[in-house]
Structure 1
Amino acid sequence: MRHLPLPALLITFALFAAVCAPGTGHADPAEHLTYMTEEYWPMNYTRNGRLAGLSVELLKRMWREMGVPEQPIHLFPWPRAYDMGHVDPRTMLFSMYRTKGRESDFKWVGPIVQGKTEVFTLRSRGLNARSLKDLGGWRLAAVRDVASANILRDAGLPYSGSRTPDTAIGMLARDRVDAVAMDALQFHHFAARLGCPFGEFKPIMTLCTDPLYYAFSLDTPDALIERFQKALKAVTREPGYRALLDRYLN
């Protein structure tokens, strides 16, 4: 056997030790996740080409609390992001309504805030409804795969599924549907962005008031879910947390 010179032997030993040393060369499990969100003001949205919003700011603070560098956040239309969250491993999707129908499909960290989903109509139509049963026979619209669309589906109510909120609201503004089921904050934001007068629409029914959460794919380790939950709890106890809520919600 040919013996290595002492300098070469020392270098070889150092490389071997660096590779085999425990805890080195391994990224934090939180860095192996794919983070996805959508345009959903004021929770997560683009402003001057950058992601902003309450859930984005909270996530960045959670990363800092966990000692994790900021990770890329991918922006997709909700139906695509939701499909990827169901199929792709090691994903985190936000902000998502935590409903009974979704409970077993994801692992959850939260709550972020309390949500509110309503049914909106054109005020000029004078339509009213007290229950989902009253919506039978109406032309309805909702964004595909959001909580409101799932509620309509589970009630056996057919609806036109759109890819984006502004498409659904545009259908209502042009009187192509009788009502739109949508998150209340999201509806008002996109209606204003489309230039629709605030008083043109009215909510006639509340569908749900479930909380919004960060949703993780089922293969995410429970230990990582617990770390995120502890980080969120720590962040909500920080002195600047109340000011953060006021900035985005008031």
Structure 2
Amino acid sequence: MRHLLPPLLVAAFVLIAAIPARADALADPATHLTYMTEQYWPMNYSRNGRLAGLSVDLLRRMWREMGVPEQPIHLFPWPRAYDMGHVDPRTMLFSMYRTKGREPDFKWVGPIVQGKTEVFTLRSRHLSARSLKDLDGWRLAAVRDVASANILRDAGLRYTGSRTPDTAIGMLTRDRVDAVAMDALQFHHFAALLGRPGGEFKPIMTLCTDPLYFAFSLDTPDALIERFQKALDAVTRQPDYRALLDHYLN
């Protein structure tokens, strides 16, 4: 006659068997990071209450490659996320331009894609500039703490710092500023959301073409940075990686 274990004893065995796997997951330093991003289409954005975008999909694939369960990703306005990334320990912030000025402030995993920031004006204004010096005296706007704002600041140019891209574009369309410095993909996306036709604007200057990266706080262990980099490299070698790029960038 077959002897059956009592249900409570069976449940106890199942729970005990699961404890080692759960403990391993909790011990993984990748689960102790705070992951932060912003609304930056098509890299990272909220869609129907769920985060999506090229960088988000890459990160999820990297977690799977590393054997790390999916982690919470916190969505903040960029100025707040950037401040937290500077101050808070064990943070990862994305997608961030890896510029010369930011280089010593973070540890980096990437690149994700090549970025491009430009200066945009209203086509009807017929403005032009060939160098940053030509922008001296212009009324400029940029989102605070992004790469384009830092370039203006480092060049000694005064600008109005906005909290969000649509606010900066709104200042341009209401003639409160002469030009906006912004990531090109982000500018066109938010201009479209505001119902502004693309032909209304023109780029007059490229500020930088630095790559976008995952940026980690300086206290992140080097061994963990290496794991993330190896995971990203492995993901970019997968057969469907090109299709992922085409889905978000083309």
Pair in the same fold by TM > 0.5 = yes
Q: Which runs of 5+ in 1 are unaligned?
A: 1-18
> 3-state DSSP class of the match of 1:101?
coil
| Other-structure match for 1:247 | 247
| Other-structure match for 2:94 | 94
| Other-structure match for 1:79 | 79
| Other-structure match for 1:62 | 62
- Whole-Å separation in 2 of the counterparts to 1:53 and 1:62: 14
| Other-structure match for 2:223 | 223
Worse overlay, 194-203 or 111-120: 194-203
- Whole-Å separation in 2 of the counterparts to 1:106 and 1:169: 29
Identity %, equivalent residues = 89
Cα drift, residue 198 of structure 1: 1.0
| Other-structure match for 2:183 | 183
Cα drift, residue 25 of structure 1: 7.8
Per the alignment, do residues 188 and 89 of structure 1 end up closer, same or farther by CA in structure 2, a change over 3 Å counting? same
Per the alignment, do residues 142 and 239 of structure 1 end up closer, same or farther by CA in structure 2, a change over 3 Å counting? same
Cα drift, residue 48 of structure 1: 1.1
- Whole-Å separation in 1 of the counterparts to 2:105 and 2:28: 24
Q: Once superposed, what is the RMSD of the aligned Cα atoms?
A: 1.5
| Other-structure match for 2:206 | 206
Q: How many residue pairs get matched?
A: 231
Cα drift, residue 122 of structure 1: 0.4
Q: Which amino acid aligns with 2:192?
A: A
TM-score relative to the length of structure 1: 0.90
- Whole-Å separation in 2 of the counterparts to 1:190 and 1:26: 39
| Other-structure match for 1:235 | 235
| Other-structure match for 2:9 | none
- Whole-Å separation in 2 of the counterparts to 1:25 and 1:222: 19
Per the alignment, do residues 177 and 64 of structure 1 end up closer, same or farther by CA in structure 2, a change over 3 Å counting? same
Q: Which amino acid aligns with 1:151?
A: I
| Other-structure match for 1:111 | 111
TM-score relative to the length of structure 2: 0.90
Cα drift, residue 27 of structure 1: 2.2
Q: Which runs of 5+ in 2 are unaligned?
A: 1-18
| Structure 1: 4+ residue segments shifted above 2 A | 23-27
| Other-structure match for 2:153 | 153
| Other-structure match for 1:194 | 194
